[in-house]
Structure 1
Amino acid sequence: MIFWFVAAGMTAAATLIALWPLFADAPRQVASRAEHDVEVYSAQLRELEADVERGTMPAAEAATARAEIGRRLLRAAGKAKLAAESGPRGWRRRGAVATVVAVVALVPLSSAGLYYLYGAPGLPDLPLAGRQAPGQTPDPDIGRMVAAAEERLATEPEDGRGWDVLAPIYLRMERPEDAANAFRQAIRLLGTSAPREAGLGEALTQLADGEVTDEARGAFERALAINPAFLPARFFLALDLSQEDRHQEAAVAWSQLVEMSPPNAPWMQIANAALADARQNGAAPVADSGAGAAAGAGGAPAASGPTAADVEAAAQMAETDRQAMIQGMVAQLADRLAAQPDDVEGWKRLIRSYRVLGEDDRAGEAFRTASRTFAADSAAGREIAALGTELGLAAQETQP
């Protein structure tokens, strides 16, 4: 309510300032200046005549000066007479009061009416942080649009275009199960296409926590058969090869993806890291479990994976692609450590990756597993303990 009083006061003040010239006593001011000029010019004529009588001014010059002063005197006298005959002054002029009343009444009423028709008086206040970062505020229209589309599809389930539009929105909303169903419906009703098959594969990969399943791989392969240059499908197929420890094939797939991608592609940093990882692991023979322990103790090539910088480098990718990609690479590293647990650098990298992803429970579980793997008084055990202290995991373990 206070707002309306303040707004009314400001409107009244602005209106009065705009109408102030109607209250000014302009004719009286003009008459006063003209009358003053008449007195000045009359005094000049008297002084001129006195100079002529005293003989201080020649007659010819006096005639010229007398004519000029006379013209000015006549002009000033005319202005004074016109101002005196102009009628009432200031607010007493005809129509002035009516104009003031009309403007003071119409301006607030018309403003209030327009605001009632086109404004939003019920809209709540938006905090300053929300106004400064509008892109970080979820769009409420998306939820309403999805709800309306779902209601329409409930009554018209054969609307292939509706499923096709809704499926990628489900992916962005991190609803992979609904996205997979929508992509399947769109493929059934509209036919297969590279984006639809790849979208189905991404949804299935999300459902598997980043693991490229056999069904997802089939969808990516169908997308690539339709369009061999469809790079998202190539990315996930290369990721699948890395997850299955087929390092030499993965190196070829990652290399092809890097060559075909533009330099500013959002997955380039991750693809280059995965390519280096595949080449490093593909160059060494795969050891059995017994040899793996000996290799870990002797400093053999460590099981690599995404570093914290690699995980953060994916921030420019779409949310669905980024999560599926990162989780897949972290899952690959976790599988390797399950087979070759004597890799201290791999455990440190896995723990950090879980923390960057915000999966604190998995980070704590990995820390506990690594702590049990290495003796507490060994160099590797001290490194794991130091990392746990740095990340606050050791303190959590000591709490009751």
Structure 2
Amino acid sequence: MILLALTCVLICAVLIALAAIWQRVRRAPPQWAQEKSLYASFMADVDRRLAAGNIDADQAREERAEAGRALLKASDRPETSGNMKPLHGYIALGLVAVASAWLYLFVGHPKLADQPYKQRLAAWTRLAQSQPDSLPPKAMAAVLRQGQHDHAKEVDYWLFLGRIDMLAGNNYQGAQDYQKARELAPQTFTAWSELGEALTFVGGGVSGPDAKAAFQNALKLNAKDPRAHYYLGQQAISDGDYETARTHLTAALSAMAPNDVSRRQVQDALNSIAPAEAAAQAMNTRILGMVAGLEGQLQANPENPDGWARLLRSYDVLGDRQKRAAAQAAMQSHYARRPDVIADILTRAQTRVGSEGEAK
């Protein structure tokens, strides 16, 4: 504590010393410096014109005198750079430094307890007991988490806490809550389903392997779980498996009540399948046309490493493993005596994905 106070005093002294040095070494006001510069330029011009014979000595003497009078008049004008006296500046700077140090000692001491948060948590707890609907999700999650030791073996507690964490945007924490509920009751489909949803949110909207496994386990326990069907359908759309997507989303709609507010979201996802499928088919048509052109070029001139790489890459995009294997065998047969070219083609086919425009 004493060391901190001495440090603050030292900082104040350094600031005051720097201000004093600045007052002593500061330059003349910019306006006065400009006046002197103009005077020097004018005098140089007078000397130049006198040497060139444009004016005589009497006229030059008169112009010099006039310029000197103008310079003296400028020097008599009061400075406009500020009206605060140096001593007043030192005092003000010292007061600001001392006030800052005092404020830090009062509210920023590192050993002060986090009383404001404890007070807020106590207020949230009282509000949760009297008016729970008025409490924001983050505050409610903080209140509920106080009882995690007393309710550690209660499935409903972890399920409810997980829902509150999800509402609060604490997706990772929500996933952990649902994981604990799943461990306590592995036969509860809701725990699996909500765990999959939380993991999807943690993945940025992508249902990874763990999320898919959770949804599939939920469907094993309840084949009509709309949440599991919805997310599996969404992921099937992303994967390009449109028939599977239709199956899951249709099942989700069938399992939902007519007045369920989530029906619109599921219906929109179902309606998005047709345009997504049409776009994918159009892309496949373009790729098939490119593939046909490449095959024709390579039959006419097989000495084309870049063309072979694009052809293999195109079959990868189409997912046609059989034709890719046939094309790779033909390429390897042509370059049988040049293994370095074969290796280069295979590398480019794997690393340069999605460049179908190169076939033009």
TM-score, normalised to structure 2's length? Answer: 0.38
Tell which structure's C-alpha radius of gyration is larger.
Answer: 1
TM-score, normalised to structure 1's length? Answer: 0.35
